């Protein structure tokens, strides 16, 4: 066991380092962990890190499943019920534009084979719901029709991504049919069963709620894997179906987050980063640049007109659109699925993961630099005015 504990200490040491860097640089821990993984992979080597050991793969896979479940559980079912038509239209456009655009660019501009091109489209199609949620709260849009529609649409976009990932590469055999049938049956049953189970056996020290959810997630994950599909598809669907029950139980969500962020997701993101080959990326940077540009352009083409149609001010509309390009979790999950199933090679994987990282960083920097809506003056006031402003009581009355 000495080797196992040593490796576990190494991985969690890297996770700690990544966590500290994310606080200092004010970036997502996932981003920081991927970058630490890239550096560790280059310096230590993937073999020495034990990236293919069974227990490392289990922790990483479990992290991806629980994280995806939690992402699905963030859905607000009431808003979704009220806005599902508009949300589906906007969400599908937001998914299809980068999906088809990036797949076409990979196929015809980079010459990738059809399966690798479709995977590039899937990896680039995602949107980070919570990042858009933060923007909506910031502008006070989260309570408006516009904000609710865009937020609900983000779930449709991500649902499109996980469905495409789960079914596009499936062999469509009897196993696929059994998997889809079981998923539909369980997804319809859990909203009825879960609240009853939690009322009867919940709030005990033995954490039966967590065990119940993990049985469902790992069981469906096994079924997905048996059918040559991807475990995040049932996890996301289950999350959405349980958003009204589990999603509202903040104490349970927090406990799952602790499990997820504290132990499992670091293994996932560091492992994903460690497979990135910097020499391959430097040798052929065109794929990375092209994927990034096409993703951002297609998101803008697909989403910006929608924000304008809802009469969102220009800057707010562009700010929201640019932040909808962020999608680290599902982008990384899709890329790693492609690598582990032999759909893409290491050079293509490196280009995709780097484009996923860049699509989180660059549009955000552009959005903050040029499209952050100023509530006030378009340009800084002169220093002379600033000096007279300091501590000078106004002569005017309130509100004048």
Partner 1 sequence: MYHSILVGYDGSKASDKAFDNALSLAKSHGAELYVLTVSRPPEIGDDVETEAVIENSREHHRKLLVPLRKKAAQAGVKAHFEVAVGHPAEQIMSCADRHRADLIVVGDRGRSKFARMLLGSVSKTVVQYANRPVLVVR
> Which of 155, 154, 158 minimizes the C-alpha distance to 320?
154
Contacting residue, 107, 255, 257, 308, with partner 1 by CB under 8 A = 257
Is 369 an interacting residue with respect to partner 1 (CB under 8 A)?
no
Contacting residue, 97, 364, 371, 384, with partner 1 by CB under 8 A = 364
Is 85 an interacting residue with respect to partner 1 (CB under 8 A)?
no
| Nearest to partner 1 of 233, 360 (CB atom) | 360
Contacting residue, 30, 38, 79, 217, with partner 1 by CB under 8 A = 30
Query: Hey, what are 340's tokens?
Result: 């582990």
Is 368 an interacting residue with respect to partner 1 (CB under 8 A)?
yes
| Nearest to partner 1 of 12, 27 (CB atom) | 27
- Angle at 335 (CA atoms; ends 99, 163), nearest 5 degrees: 50
* Angstrom distances, CA of residue 138 to CA of 35, 91, 145: 28, 21, 15
Is 381 an interacting residue with respect to partner 1 (CB under 8 A)?
yes
Is 133 an interacting residue with respect to partner 1 (CB under 8 A)?
yes
Q: With CB under 8 A as the contact rule, which of the stretches 5-13, 40-48, 219-227, 358-366 interacts with partner 1?
A: 358-366
Site for partner 1 in 177-236 (CB under 8 A): none
Residues 6+ apart with CB under 8 A from 149: 83, 86, 87, 90, 310
| Nearest to partner 1 of 109, 137 (CB atom) | 137
| DSSP symbols for 320-360 | HHHHTT--HHHHHHHHHHHHHTTSS-HHHHHHHHHHHHHHH
> Which of 256, 248, 243, 182 minimizes the C-alpha distance to 212?
256
Residues 6+ apart with CB under 8 A from 362: 292, 296
Site for partner 1 in 260-299 (CB under 8 A): 260-261
| Nearest to partner 1 of 174, 391 (CB atom) | 391
Query: Hey, what are 343's tokens?
Result: 């759909």
Contacting residue, 85, 200, 204, 375, with partner 1 by CB under 8 A = 375
| Nearest to partner 1 of 200, 398 (CB atom) | 398
Report helix, strand or coil for 337.
helix
Site for partner 1 in 311-350 (CB under 8 A): 326-330
| Nearest to partner 1 of 110, 263 (CB atom) | 263
d(Cα 65, Cα 158) in Å, to the nearest integer? Answer: 14
Is 250 an interacting residue with respect to partner 1 (CB under 8 A)?
yes
d(Cα 206, Cα 195) in Å, to the nearest integer? Answer: 17
d(Cα 337, Cα 275) in Å, to the nearest integer? Answer: 12
- Angle at 256 (CA atoms; ends 254, 261), nearest 5 degrees: 90
Residues contacting partner 1: total by CB under 8 A: 52
| Nearest to partner 1 of 117, 128 (CB atom) | 128
CA dihedral for 276, 282, 287, 292, sign (positive or negative): positive
| Nearest to partner 1 of 266, 338 (CB atom) | 266
Cβ atoms of residues 218 and 63 within 8 Å: no
Q: With CB under 8 A as the contact rule, which of the stretches 174-182, 278-286, 340-348, 376-384 interacts with partner 1?
A: 376-384
Contacts with partner 1, residue ranges (CB under 8 A)? 22, 26-31, 67, 70-71, 74, 128-131, 133-134, 137-139, 250, 254, 257, 260-261, 326-330, 360-361, 364, 368, 372-377, 380-381, 386, 389-394, 397-399
């Amino acid at each position: 066991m000495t080797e196992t504990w040593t490796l576990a200490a190494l991985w969690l040491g890297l996770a700690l380092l990544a966590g500290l860097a994310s606080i200092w640089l004010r970036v997502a821990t996932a981003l920081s962990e991927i970058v630490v993984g890239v550096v560790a992979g280059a310096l230590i080597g993937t073999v020495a890190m034990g990236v293919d050991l069974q227990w490392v793969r289990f922790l990483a896979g479990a992290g991806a499943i629980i994280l995806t479940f939690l992402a699905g559980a963030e859905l607000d079912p009431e808003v979704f019920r009220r806005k599902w038509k508009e949300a589906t239209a906007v969400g599908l456009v937001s998914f299809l534009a980068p999906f088809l655009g990036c797949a076409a660019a990979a196929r015809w501009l980079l010459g990738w084979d059809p399966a690798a091109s479709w995977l590039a489209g899937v990896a680039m199609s995602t949107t980070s719901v919570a990042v858009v949620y933060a923007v909506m709260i910031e502008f006070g849009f989260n309570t408006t029709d516009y904000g609710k529609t865009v937020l609900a649409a983000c779930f449709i976009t991500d649902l499109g991504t996980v469905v495409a990932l789960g079914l596009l590469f499936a062999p469509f055999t009897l196993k696929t049919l059994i998997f889809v049938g079981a998923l539909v049956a369980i997804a319809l049953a859990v909203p009825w069963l879960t609240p009853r189970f939690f009322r009867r056996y919940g709030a005990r020290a033995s954490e039966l709620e967590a065990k119940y959810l993990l049985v469902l997630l790992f069981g469906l994950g096994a079924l997905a894997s048996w059918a040559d599909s991807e475990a995040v598809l049932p996890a996301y669907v289950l999350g959405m179906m349980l958003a009204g029950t589990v999603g509202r139980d903040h104490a349970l969500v927090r406990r799952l987050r602790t499990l997820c962020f504290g132990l499992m997701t670091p293994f996932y993101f560091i492992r994903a980063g460690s497979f990135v080959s910097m020499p391959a990326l430097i040798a052929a940077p065109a794929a990375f640049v092209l994927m990034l540009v096409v993703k951002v352009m297609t998101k803008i083409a697909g989403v910006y007109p929608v924000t304008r149609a809802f009469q969102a001010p220009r800057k707010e509309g562009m700010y929201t659109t640019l932040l909808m390009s962020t999608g680290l979790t599902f982008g990384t999950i899709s890329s790693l699925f492609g690598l582990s199933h032999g759909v893409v090679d290491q050079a293509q994987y490196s280009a995709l993961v780097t484009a996923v990282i860049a699509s989180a960083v660059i549009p955000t920097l552009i959005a903050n630099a040029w499209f952050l809506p100023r509530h006030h003056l378009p340009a800084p006031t002169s220093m002379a005015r600033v000096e007279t402003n300091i501590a000078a009581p106004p002569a005017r009355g309130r509100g004048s």
